[in-house]
Every structure is written in C-alpha cells, then in structure tokens.
Chains A and B, each alone.
Chain A
C-alpha cells in the first residue's frame, strides 16, 4: 500500500544552503574575473554537486516506498514493541514523535512505544534520505498501515477492590498458599502446549501416548472471583481505570485463581474467564466505555 503523508522538508539545511550559495557566488566571481575558464568549469561542476546534494534527497525521499512487514499483535503502553518495515531505498526511519531512529534499507526493525491503550492500526513514520551525496537530510512524514492491528494493553495499576463483584476479594488475596488457576476438578488429560506449568505434566499418560501430556482441570465458574470493568470513557480517565482494573486482575491471577471478567468491547458486552496475565492484558486492551453503534 502506498503511504500518504506531507511533502518533503529539509533538515537543518539553512546553514549548508547559505554556505554553499555564498561559496559558489564567491567562486563564480573570482572565476569570472580571473579569466580562468577552468575555474569557471570547476565551479559549475561544484554547483552541480551542491545542487544535486541539496535537492536530490527531496526527490529520493519522495520516491521511497515503505510498508509494514510484520508486527506483534499485542503490546503494553509505554513498553517498546518491534515492528518490521520494508523500505524500497536506503532511508532513516523514525517513529513520529518518538526518539530513536533506524537507518538502512530493506527490512528494518523499529521500536514502537504505544502511548495509549487500545488498538493501533497505523504507524506514523518520518522517513529521511540524504541520497545521493549525503550532504543534507530531507524528511517526509508518512502514515503506513500495520501488517495487523496492534492491541496495546494498559500498564498495570494498583489493585482496586471496587472492580471485584461480590464475595470477599480479600479472602482470595489473603489465601495462605497460591493456587494454580487451572487447579480444580480434574477433567482429563490433553497434549502439552507451550506455556503449560511443569507440575501439570501427567507422566503416566505421557508414557502411554509417547508425547508430553498435561492434566486438564476445571472448576465451576461460579466459584471464581468476578471482576466487572466499566470504563467511564475512552479517554484518559478510561485508560486510568483500565490500568487499575488490570492491576486488580493480575493480583487476583497471581493469587492462583482464574477470574471471570466482564467488559464492554466494541461489539458488545463480554463475560468470560481469564486464566493468565496475557488473557487479562488482552481483555483490557479491548475494553471500551461503550460499544460501537
């Protein structure tokens, strides 16, 4: 997809431009009045170098094409996420309103730090080029679509008991020994998937099947703590509430219990169990104050 953005602008070109013009003007004056044709020819050559060096990057940065090659699906606000972009020419790529820059051509990895919770579908980049002579940089702002939406979870805030529905949240948190969220009534065994806790490995079944098997347990949802997240808005206040809700969820999960979470997402209300911090972040990234009409 071709990016869209503002036209190219020079970066700190006033000094080189003024210096070049003065130097070339003096050169032309001396060359003309000295009567030396080779001086004048050399000056013309220099003028060519300067003109192409000063203006060439504008053309180069206009012609360069950039697209997102890949990006993670999830990130946390304030934490860097690596996005791969492919450029059609050597350029310096910088995320707009952000610090670091990456230079090169082909596939470049850039660090994106999302400032807000929620989905990110586009990336604002600042492309800079000094082609072909490296005299000055010209930059251009482009907005490129990400390869897939990047859901940004809030940074976890403090535990807030007001999000916990009924029961005594303190009882779960004050439990003497943490319990694994998946420990409950045994249901059967299933093949191991990466991330399963090591104690869940069921060695007899593993020996029987010839592949790693883990115990699968469940317990009634009714026995799980419930968290209801109602964001006041989709602005900063909502973000702050989401941080606290995530902090609450992570605290409950850390106590060894799965949590049933009720949120509102774009397409309506959603209630379901959350078993691990990734689930919790994912839910909080998608939570909104009210569904889309």
Chain B
C-alpha cells in the first residue's frame, strides 16, 4: 500500500455514529472546557457563550447529517480552521514571544475553542466524536494552567462526568449494545483510585523555569503619598492606623501592618483569605521590619520617608539587598491577592527582584518594599528573593563582615536598660557560647515558661510590654512573645529586629498554592548573623522546612473538611439521595405492565400460601391452585379471576382500561391478603381441636 493510499485509508470516513449519548457527551465536555477557559479569564464571556451555542448547533447539524456528508461544508470548515490558525500566529507574533506564556495562553484558548466549534459541525463518525472528547482535554489544560482555587474542581468534575458518559457510550457503540451502568461505574471507581493514587505519588509541582513572571493590578488606586503606608481592607486610600482595633486598621483586622506596631493590642483575626502564594518553599512572607523599640511599640526609624529609595521603570525592579547579605539561593514567590490590601509588597527573606505592574516601587534601607499604588483583589506580583539557608551548625560558625556601627546601634537599641530582663537573659544563656546557641536557648526557655493566648487584659498605660510579659503571668500573643525575645537578645548585645507578615498558611497540593488567611498574620524575630544576614526565629511557632507531602496534606484537609461538614444538612442531603436511589431502584424493579404486576402479586400469594409456583406454570394454573388451597369467601375476588383478567390484559387484544387495571391490582392485593390469612386459620383449627 502506497503512502497516499495509507493516508486515504486513515482519513476515510468511518461509519456514521448513531449514539446520541456519545454526541451529547462530546458536546458537553467541549462546552465545559470552553466555560472553564472563560471562568479563568482566557476567553471573554460573550465569546464563550457564542462558542457554546455554536457547539450545540454544530452537534445537532452533524447528527442530522451524519449519513449524508456535505462536501461543501467541509471546505468551509477547512477555511475557517485556516483562518483561526492564521489569527493565532498573528496574535503570538505581536506578543513578546513564546517565553511569555501569559501572552500565548489567551490566543491558544481562543484557537482551541474555535477549532472545536468548527469541528463540531463535521462529526458524523465515532472517530470524530472521539476527537472532540480528546480536544476538550486541551481546553481544560489551558484553563487548569490558570486555575488558582478549588472552585475549578467543579469544572473538572463536570468535565470528568462528561468524559465518563462519552467513553462509556463509545464502548457501548463499539459493542453494539447499551453500555452497562455497573461496568462504567466500576470503571469510574477504578479511575478515581488510579487518579488519587497518582496525585499522592507524584511530587508537588514546582516552578523551575525563569519565564516572564505574571504581574497585574486589580482595582489599584494611586496613593496620596506613595512611599507612605496606605491602603486597607476598608478602602484603598484609607490610612493604615496603628492601635485602633475598632477601625479599619489593616487586612483582616491585623494591627501589625502599620507604621508603629503596638504590642499591647491584638485584632480579632478570622479565616478571610488574604492572598495565595506560589512559592519555591514555605517561609515567612515579610511585610515590614521594625528597628526601634519604645517599650510598647515597634517603630521604623526611616518611616519619615527620607530614607526610601524610589525605583522607576518597569519589571523586573532590581531591589537589591538592603543590608549586606551572604550568597543565598533563589526563591521565587508569586502573590495572588484576594483582598484589597495596603501598599506593602510581601516577600521572603531578602528580595532581589520584583515583577510589579506599576511604574514605581519604594525600598527602604532594611529591604521593606512599598508600591506607589494600593493593590486590589486580583493583583499579582512576583518576587525573587535571595535566601541564605545555613546548614546544620553553620550559624554557630557564622563569620563575615559585621554590621556597621550605625546599624549595630539601631538593632541593639533599647529605651531603658532592662536590668531584670538582662539578668534573666544572661542566666538563660549562661552555657551558650555562640549567638545561635543563645537564641535557641532563649527560644527554648520561652517555649517552656510562656503560654500563648490572645485573651489578656490591655496593658496599663506606660507599662513596658516586655517587663509585664516576662515578669507577669507570662501569657501573651506573638507580638509580645517575639518582642520579649528580641529585647532579651538586645540586652545581650545581639542585633535583632521585629518582623511582621504572614506564616506560610495552608498548602493546597491541587492548586500548588499557599492559602494565606487573616489569622496567619504573625510577628517574629530576625537576628543578624555575619555571613548569613537576617535569619528568622519564631519563638511562638515552628515553620515546616519543606513543602509537606501531598498525601499528608490531603489527608489533613479531608479530615478538616469532614469536621466542617454541617451535620443536619448533610443528613438531609444523604437521606434525600438515599430516597432517590431507592425510588430509582423501585422503578427499575416495578413490573412493566399492570398484568405483570398482578401476575407477580399472584406468585407472591402462592408462595405465601405455601404453593411454590413453578417456572413452567401458567398464571391461570397458579390461580386455580390458589383458589383450591385458599378458597375465596363470598364477595372476595378469586385468584383464577385475577389470573384470567391479567392474561386477557396481556394477550387478549385491546386490554383493560385504566379503572379496570386499578381494580385488577386491588383484587390481586386482596388475594395476597387472603393467602396470608391461611396459616392463622390452620393454627386456630389446631388450637380448637382438643375441645
């Protein structure tokens, strides 16, 4: 066979496909793919609606014309496909190139959509419908690449259901019979097992390439004083307030994202989603660091704005190390904001580069970054940080250029000598030789001797937070615990500063994102180590060193989700589903005709009367045996009469009317009841016989 003949044979139209289920499933899966792309912003909603409408029309046309192909239509469709490809290449040639995936994905989704829509008009055969099913995978893939939240699971579930029905129908069509629901259900079960198994076995996805990072602003508002700290959950232009728990202080009610950090106050933090982070590793997402401690609040000495460095231009902004830092590893984080927030640019450790969709950024000498605009929901930015990751014992041997005198003074500053605190710190670290050992000893002591709680009375006016905490009841929240550690370190002459931001939050292995909620707001301590720069220590909580395994995370999430399921609605839904299933089962078992129902009732009556009906026995014969065994009383219907009526209805011409059928069922039930009375009569007879 020549190559041309082979190609012709491969392209020969298959036999027309008559399965409506397969056609509907193919249309459904492609439609779900289009809707998923639209939901992820890859397609305009109007385009998606038009595409879905065209898909349905195309499927109907294909089905009606499946036995009569239209050569002219094929020509038109080919031209449309060529135009779609031409449009696609034109679009990506205008973009930055294929390295900018964001610029390619949109046109790609449009191309896939219109190819599928075009194809829908010419799907006469099974192979064409199979192509539609497979093509829907590409649409789902484009949408999945952009999906950030678990809401995408709805699209996946709808698409998977369509695929299941479509493939099951394809099997039925190939086997020239109706597909068995139980077999397809068993296949679905195996599919879930294999899919979940793969998900658990595969390592979590990670960003390993340096493409153009996504960045966009949503609902941004230019700020009055760009380098100032502005923008809150209450309004983008509202000033961030310190120490005002009643007012809109910051995202989720956290009071730490302000100029001064008042350690006497703690907002009530909820589980409001603040942002999501795709990151190389979990870490503290730093918002601000503070150097000046006044006994109750932390302050930034450079907050006057004089020490903010302005960065202009476009992404990437070279932030550079604010304070000398040793060589570190690269850590990429992309932040997807879910709430309006202040103009703080979160980052891990020391930020090197920022992909930010605004013309100006501001960086202070400690590496804190602020934008010139507030950021609304949907804002995206990426930070590439340099992370110094010391190995075991490396911090103990830390060596390198020390802080300069001015910085050393700043980061060991205390408002007063703290003699009791200093004595306590010296006593705790008496056996510690290195800075790291001293920090760890103090952390361990705090873990043993302090308790975390947010339920404490406000500090008296003028009282020192650290004195009150360490020599009072030793109960407090993270700001007080971390501040106490920082002050104890400073009394020992170790440079330390307070940092606020968020802990990693809950890792979602499906989206590969850390979901940061308001309650993840946190304060911790950063300690200076020569050669490694600022290292974070959290006396309040530990942080996982690596991405948790998907299996452990999913198990934890499932347990958590089960605990959160409301009992009463769940029971109601489960009950409704059980009733529905029972109803469907009963409908399947229900006899198809009133005559069959009457026949079945007579058979039950025979069994009840101890007369097992035989396979070869006619209904009339069963009725006769029943009447002989349990004779009808005067006025009662006879089993023979019921049998005769049933047989007449089934085989005797026009059949019974509606009322007669109801009467037949009633009489059959009467025979059944009479058959049930028989044993009691016998028992009564035996009981009476001795008399």
Is B92 an interface residue, CB under 8 A from the partner? no
Q: Is A175 an interface residue (CB 8 A)?
A: no
Contact A90 B205 (CB under 8 A): no
Chain A residues with CB under 8 Å of B209's CB are: 33
Taking a contact as CB atoms under 8 Å apart, the answer to whether B176 and A32 are in contact is no
Evaluate contact between B175 and A103: CB separation under 8 angstroms.
Answer: yes
B140 contacts A by Cβ under 8 Å: yes
Which residues from chain B contact A52 at a C-beta distance below 8 Å?
187, 190-191, 194
Q: A40-B205, A104-B176 are in contact. Are A47 and B167 (CB under 8 A)?
A: no
Does A161 belong to the interface (CB within 8 Å)? no
Q: Which of B46-54, B177-185, B399-407, B563-571 contacts A (4 or more CB under 8 A)?
A: B177-185
**B195 close to A (CB within 8 Å):** yes
Known contacts A44-B199, A89-B183, A133-B168: A36-B205 contact under CB 8 Å: yes
Contacts of B186 in A (CB 8 A): 132
Interface residues of B in 583-632 (CB under 8 A from A): none
B168 touches A38 (CB 8 A): no
**Interface size range on A against B:** 35 or more
Selected from B179, B195, B204, the residue in CB contact (under 8 A) with A37 is: B204
B144 close to chain A: CB less than 8 A: yes
B176:A89 contact, CB within 8 angstroms:
no
Instruction: Give the chain B neighbours of A90 by CB distance below 8 A.
Output: 171-172, 175-180
**A56, A105, A129, A134: the one within 8 Å of B190 (CB):** A56
A91 to B183, CA, bound (A): 13
The distance in angstroms between the C-alpha atoms of A257 and B206, with both chains bound, is 93
Task: Report how far A89 CA is from B206 CA in the complex, Å.
Answer: 45
Does B510 have its Cβ within 8 Å of any Cβ on chain A? Answer: yes
A45 and B160 contact, CB distance less than 8 A? yes
Distance of A248 from chain B, by nearest CB (Å): 45
Contacting residues, chain A, for B206 (C-beta < 8 A): 32-33, 35
Q: Are B195 and A32 in contact (CB under 8 A)?
A: no
B interface majority secondary structure:
helix
A38 and B137 contacting across the interface, CB-CB below 8 Å: no
A138 to chain B, nearest CB (A): 12
Contact A131 B171 (CB under 8 A): yes
Residues of B within 8 A of A39 (CB): 141, 144-145, 205
CA distance A32 to B513 in the complex (A): 13
Interface check A135, CB cutoff 8 A: yes
A269 to chain B, nearest CB (A): 42
Select which of B176, B177, B183, B202 is within 8 A of A60 by beta carbon: B183
Q: A28 near B: Cβ within 8 Å? A: yes
One digit per residue, 1 when the CB lies within 8 angstroms of any chain B CB and 0 when it does not, for chain A 38-51 equals 11111111111101
- Partner of A32 from B145, B187, B203 at Cβ < 8 Å: B203
Q: Is A53 positioned at the interface, with any CB of B under 8 Å from its CB?
A: yes
Query: Is A130 interfacial (CB-CB < 8 Å)?
Result: yes
Contact (Cβ within 8 A) A34 B205? yes
B208 within 8 A of A: yes
Report the separation of the CA atoms of residues A90 and B168 in the bound assembly, to the nearest whole angstrom: 12
Contact assessment for B510 and A41 in the assembled complex, using a CB-CB cutoff below 8 Å = yes
Among candidates A27, A51, A132, A135, residue contacting B179 with C-beta atoms closer than 8 Å: A132
Q: List 21 A-B contacts (CB under 8 A).
A: A32-B202, A32-B203, A35-B207, A35-B208, A35-B512, A37-B204, A39-B145, A40-B205, A42-B137, A44-B202, A45-B156, A45-B160, A48-B192, A49-B191, A89-B183, A90-B176, A92-B174, A130-B174, A134-B167, A134-B168, A134-B175
- Known A42-B137, A135-B167; 13 more pairs at CB < 8 Å: A36-B144, A38-B152, A40-B512, A44-B194, A47-B194, A52-B190, A56-B190, A90-B177, A131-B183, A132-B179, A134-B167, A134-B170, A134-B175
Q: Which residues of A line the B interface, CB within 8 A?
A: 27-28, 31-49, 51-53, 56, 60, 89-92, 103-106, 129-135
